[in-house]
Structure 1
């Protein structure tokens, strides 16, 4: 065989492999696409319900509720007043509805990431073998370009809210898993030995000792999850997810500078509100943990 033929043979093999995989995936989507879509219908209903609640409720009531949540998390007048001013400016410039859609999307994606990510993080913390298996998957999820996530979910679910949620959760969940695992592993061994001395079961140790002490680190994971969800908003708008990302995408396509900047600043404002509130809450948890167990 001539070495000149080797690259062309490799290309043919790669093309055949690619066609085989693409054909198999298309068959899978035809056979199971509807079943998978029905499986995620409760998540879709929850997102639509939350979105409708935020949009259809009187804006002063929604504003008051959001500001109350920020104050409950941060216990800071400065952060609360800053959040209220930012939300009022968003409403004044006509971006309220898109902002509510984005907040609903981020809230649902974050809750989904918490429900899925914390158990996986706990499982990783209890087994080095599981950790060594899951870590490369998390590395792949974090380094894969975000646009790539859209391809399989759109092939299975089409355009709309469900593929958007799935793509955002896949992109945002790795920090949730990693920091849950890290937080539990960093729990002081002396505290665990004391729990063993009192006859605590593995479940009691997890619920009463490990998770409370790991909570500040887990909270940092939630913070990162929220930030990455917001970063994915513009990308998710490409598959029909409504919110602040769609005007940004429209501004890119039509070269509307002001529209792009304004909606981009609204995303930044929401990110800062979430970031400051969750960071302040994490610091409070850290101080409480040090006081109780220090």
Structure 2
């Protein structure tokens, strides 16, 4: 047996102890912000009668996916009410929404940075690989130490686990924009910020929305794990069913998670296409920008052709 051993675990423990002792005020502040955001969203979802939230969800489904999806939403949410998991489902939905929004807020700027800078991309990619491949349970250990038991460790672990596809697909979408279109904007004196805002982001929007969809799906996959650190909601019900080997409770809570997952997946997937009013609006803007850039490029080429004989005769 080899006596040589690299004390990576001891180093990680020492690092966590150091930041706990010296930076505890930062983590207390972050805990207060995340906990407050969760409480507000949970109050909005859980305080009204269940039928109010169902009506809002059905109307949203009708606007985005049509009447068939609206009927499916109605049936699915009534099933959650029927198995007495409505309050737990709203608690989990609040956690998912808070964690997903924060993950998107962090991931899209990082994806833009990675798309704009090769050096940043080379630094960010290994970090994303580490975040995505590390078992999600491992994130809970430092999260518990830094943020204590409750919903905040679940939110933090969910953000870390879910933000990787948002960064990757944002970078992919921006890098996939036709270089000639960007050069045409540069030729007409557009600033890098304007090119990003009016050319690259609109053209990359379907890919970015696919990343947003994946962020939400990964956040949903963390619901059960978050329940193990006192986050409550459906995850706590699944953990309780596992501890008691309660098939009935486990199936009901798991079914509620599936219904929420289908609803959120179909909504976010539809927003990235042209099959919704919002998607059609984005697609229309994209086509107008493509047409204007193409026209500008054609004018530039025509001017170059007109000037070429004059220079040739000099």
Q: Give the RMSD, CA atoms, in angstroms.
A: 1.8
Task: Judge conservation of contact 1:33–1:157 (CA < 8 Å) in 2.
Answer: no
Unaligned ranges ≥5, structure 2: 292-314
Aligned length: 284
Q: How far apart are residue 71 of structure 1 and its match?
A: 3.4
Residue 36 of structure 1 corresponds to: 27
Give deviations 1:99-130, integer Å, cap 9, x for gaps.
10111111111110111111000000001111
Output the CA distance in 2 between the equivalents of 1:232 and 1:18: 24
Q: How does 1:1-294 map to 2 (within 5 A)?
A: 7-8=2-3, 10-11=4-5, 14=6, 18-19=9-10, 21-72=12-63, 74-284=64-274, 285=279, 288=283, 291-292=287-288, 293=290
Unaligned ranges ≥5, structure 1: none
What TM-score does the superposition give when structure 2 sets the normalisation length?
0.85
Q: Secondary structure at the match of 1:91?
A: helix
Give deviations 1:191-219, integer Å, cap 9, x for gaps.
21221233210000111111111111110
Output the CA distance in 1 between the equivalents of 2:99 and 2:167: 14
What TM-score does the superposition give when structure 1 sets the normalisation length?
0.91
- Deviation >6 Å, runs of 4+: none
The 3 A distance-change label for structure 1 pair 61 and 34 is same
The 3 A distance-change label for structure 1 pair 156 and 199 is same
Give deviations 1:22-56, integer Å, cap 9, x for gaps.
24422321332233121342222111111012111
Q: How far apart are residue 20 of structure 1 and its match?
A: 5.0
The structure with the largest alpha-carbon Rg is 2
